[in-house]
Amino acid sequence: MPDSPAGPPTPPIALTELLGREELGLRLLAGPEQADLLWVHTSEMADPYPYLLGGELLLTAGVQLSDADTYVARLVEAGASALGFGVTPVYDTVPEALVEACERHGLPLVEVPPETRFTAIARAVWRLMAEARHRELRRVTRAQQALATAAARPDPVPAVLRQLAVQLEGRVALLTADGGVLHAAGGRTAPDVQTALARLARVVVPAAAPAAGAPGRKPSPSSAAESRDGVHLFAYALGGGQGLALALATPRRVAGDHTVAGIAVVLLSLLTAPHQGADAAGRSAALVRLLLGAAPREVAPLLGDADSWTVVHARRTDGTPADPLNAGALGSALGSALSDADRETVRVLLPGRRTVPPQPGWTVGVSEPSPAGALPDADAQAARALGHAVATRAPVSTYRPGLGGLAALVPPDHAAAHARALLAPLGGPLAETLRCWLGLHGSWDRTAVALQVHRNTVRQRIARCAALLDMDLDDMDVRTELWFALRSRA
């Protein structure tokens, strides 16, 4: 089987969820009911193996079906999750040989009735994926806020570990390189599980780290995982070079767990860094990061009496990396001590409504003024504005979300409902790519610059949008409706 590609940017959906859609009339004829679907693919080839990525629900009418056993064996070898067989126009019923082959190879076989189109099944799968992705994002957002709030408590490290144990419903521990437990939270684990976690910690944080450039030594991985008797074990190295690892033992592994654990790793790395509390720049960066994810009522009082805040994103115009020094300099130029550098981008928090003038050497994106409770949204606004500024080569771009003119005549709840229904087949990256592409008048190059991807990636995503929406994106009426929907949803 070819190398498995990275999964789609949405969680898989269970086959049982699709079978539960009564309007589709699908019926399981053979194989197990439990299967995870990552994609939908239609093919009438005699052997679709070379074109499968793994995890597909493959839909076919059996136009070139000859040897059912070989056909099913090849699908299983390619990693397909299930086979959907459409009766008529080629067959009046699902061939018995195909039913027997799917039962023998353990591949779920679903009968598609004549009145159900394959496109309807694909649309249902993408909608279920969009709903699953929305649930995952809501869960991750709640977990991020809870973890950031815990990090603001007087005993932040134990508080973060306790909250992480609650979020993942498992055992978590902060371990040293030799497996020693500094802090732990959650239910107890068996001795062999504790031993396995200590071993994983030694993998990601060796007790004696090799000197930089030492010959014959490979860098340690940042994470390691294994399963033991139905328990999922993970270890993550903390940043800062302090030789610590976050270890997890969970009874299940669901979409979003890795993201939640990653948030905890960032917070714990910050909290356990040797310089924590020693310099104002570090405290400022920590405060910005907490504000952009923590519960506003917990941390907003730390910043004074401002009723609203403006978020600024900036990148060096010459492409040089951002660092705390030039981040602090930009913050000072804008009149704020609240700055944070993250590789390419500097983020600055400005109290109140601000007009940000061009800054020499910087490309800047500015959010709308927002209350403390909406700072994560303002952060996303500033990121979009910065992408637009980079794409259009403007020194400053300010986010303008308001719908005016004729669009303002539509009640917001009606517009939002229409947007959700129209854009349901699109996942987050596809919708954002479509929004950016339409906002930049269909320019492939400027959209690629704004999103920091290759122009071919933009073309592929827009083509995917057109296919999922079943719309002609060259039609100005279609573009107008989609733009209205994207703005309404935002």
Residue-level pLDDT at 2: 39
Residue 121 in domain: yes
Angle at 402 between CA 400 and CA 408, to 5 degrees: 155
Residue-level pLDDT at 223: 79
Same domain, 389 and 415: no
Range(s) of the domain holding residue 409 = 405-489
Same domain, 264 and 236: yes
Residue-level pLDDT at 278: 33
Q: At what angle do helices 96-105 and 68-78 cross, to 10 degrees?
A: 40
Residue-level pLDDT at 117: 94
Least confident interval from 276-285, 405-414, 463-472? 276-285
Same domain, 86 and 43: yes
Residue-level pLDDT at 329: 67
Burial class (CB in 10 A: 0-12, 13-18, 19+), 301: exposed
Amino acid identity at 381: Q
Same domain, 383 and 318: yes
Residue 104 in domain: yes
Q: What's the CA gap between 64 and 385, in Å, rounded?
A: 51
Q: What's the CA gap between 159 and 150, in Å, rounded?
A: 5
Same domain, 352 and 442: no
C-alpha closest to that of 272 among 242, 301, 308, 297: 242
Quote the tokens at residue 34: 């439990």
Contacts of 218 (CB under 8 A, 6+ apart): none
Q: What's the CA gap between 300 and 127, in Å, rounded?
A: 37
Quote the tokens at residue 366: 């500015």
Least confident interval from 137-141, 206-210, 344-348? 206-210
Q: What's the CA gap between 350 and 336, in Å, rounded?
A: 6
Q: What's the CA gap between 214 and 358, in Å, rounded?
A: 46
Angle at 416 between CA 414 and CA 421, to 5 degrees: 95
C-alpha closest to that of 266 among 297, 292, 295: 292
Contacts of 479 (CB under 8 A, 6+ apart): 438, 442, 473
Q: Which of 373, 398, 423 is the last residue of a domain?
A: 398
Same domain, 260 and 307: no
Residue-level pLDDT at 432: 85
Same domain, 305 and 373: yes
Task: Return the CATH number at 93.
Answer: 3.40.1390.20
Residue-level pLDDT at 357: 87
Task: Return the CATH number at 181.
Answer: 3.30.450.30
Q: What's the CA gap between 175 and 443, in Å, rounded?
A: 50
Residue-level pLDDT at 415: 67
Residue-level pLDDT at 487: 73
C-alpha closest to that of 78 among 105, 104, 111: 105
Per-residue three-class SS string for 169-219: CCEEEEEECCCCEEEEECCCCCHHHHHHHHHHHHHHCCCCCCCCCCCCCCC
Amino acid identity at 374: A
Residue 394 in domain: yes
Please tell me the total count of domains within the chain.
Answer: 4
Q: Dihedrals φ, ψ of 297, to 5°?
A: -65, -20
Question: Tell me: the pLDDT tens digits for 378-393?
Answer: 888 898 888 888 878 8
Residue 281 in domain: no
C-alpha closest to that of 14 among 30, 36, 32, 31: 36
Question: Tell me: the pLDDT tens digits for 415-452?
Answer: 677 778 888 888 778 888 888 888 888 888 888 888 88
Q: Is the pLDDT of residue 55 over 80?
A: yes
Q: What is the spatial order of strands in the sheet that 396-398 belongs to?
A: 339-342, 345-351, 309-316, 362-366, 396-398
Same domain, 250 and 334: no
Question: What confidence tier does 210 reach under pLDDT thresholds 50, 70, 90?
Answer: very low
Residue-level pLDDT at 254: 75
Q: Say if residue 89 is preceded by a cis peptide, omega within 30 of 0.
A: yes
Residue-level pLDDT at 48: 94
Least confident interval from 109-113, 274-278, 384-388? 274-278
Q: Which of 92, 127, 162 is the last residue of a domain?
A: 127
Quote the tokens at residue 377: 């949204």
Q: Is the pLDDT of residue 326 over 80?
A: no
Residue-level pLDDT at 7: 43
Residue 1 in domain: no
Q: Is the pLDDT of residue 47 over 60?
A: yes
Q: Which of 383, 398, 413 is the last residue of a domain?
A: 398
C-alpha closest to that of 152 among 286, 242, 351: 286
- The three-class DSSP label of residue 396 is strand
Same domain, 443 and 480: yes
Q: Is the pLDDT of residue 286 over 60?
A: no
How much is the pTM? 0.45
Q: DSSP state, 49?
A: G
Question: Tell me: the pLDDT tens digits for 185-206?
Answer: 888 878 888 888 888 888 888 7
Section 177-184 average pLDDT: 82
Residue 266 in domain: yes
Q: What's the CA gap between 425 and 431, in Å, rounded?
A: 9
Residue 115 in domain: yes
Q: Is the pLDDT of residue 282 over 60?
A: no
Same domain, 412 and 307: no
Same domain, 356 and 417: no
Same domain, 337 and 261: no
Q: Is the pLDDT of residue 294 over 60?
A: no
Quote the tokens at residue 239: 């940043």
Residue 145 in domain: no
Section 286-300 average pLDDT: 57
Residue-level pLDDT at 5: 41
Q: What's the CA gap between 486 and 459, in Å, rounded?
A: 19
